[in-house]
Amino acid sequence: MPIQYYITLAACLFCIGIVGVLVRRNAIIIFMCIELMLNAVNLLLVAFSKMYHGAAFAHDATSTTGIDGQLFVFFIMVVAAAEVSVGLAVIVMMYRNVHSVDVNFLNRLKN
């Protein structure tokens, strides 16, 4: 499959995530949109990793070039899992205190 398909799909997913973060007011949906953007980046990293690993493997069968993208994906997934656990804890505490997950309510905390 050509790399352009992966790039197009990742760009669409990333744009949907950006629109969701900018438009929606529900904190849980904002987290889901952030995850969508992270997964778009993961898709690109895996696609480029596969493309470069295939090219390097054609020249040298023992080459490990192109594996770096897959390692980055693993670390992004770990960071995303940590981010979700902390973020959901914050949202649960916010819901317990104000009975809402609307992020506009957080503007009141400035004063």
Instruction: Please report the pLDDT score of residue 9 as a whole number.
Output: 96
Nearest to 26 by CA among 92, 83, 96, 101: 101
Query: Above 70 in pLDDT, residue 1?
Result: yes
Query: Above 80 in pLDDT, residue 69?
Result: no
Domain edges within the chain? 3-101
Nearest to 70 by CA among 87, 54, 86: 54
Distance CA(44)–CA(10), nearest Å, equals 6
Assigned architecture for domain 3-101:
Orthogonal Bundle (1.10)
pTM: 0.76
* Mean pLDDT score of the chain: 85
Amino acid identity, position 13: L
**CA dihedral sign of residues 61, 62, 66, 67:** positive
Contacts of 46 (CB under 8 A, 6+ apart): 69, 70, 73
- What digits encode the pLDDT tens for the residues 79-92? 888 988 998 898 89
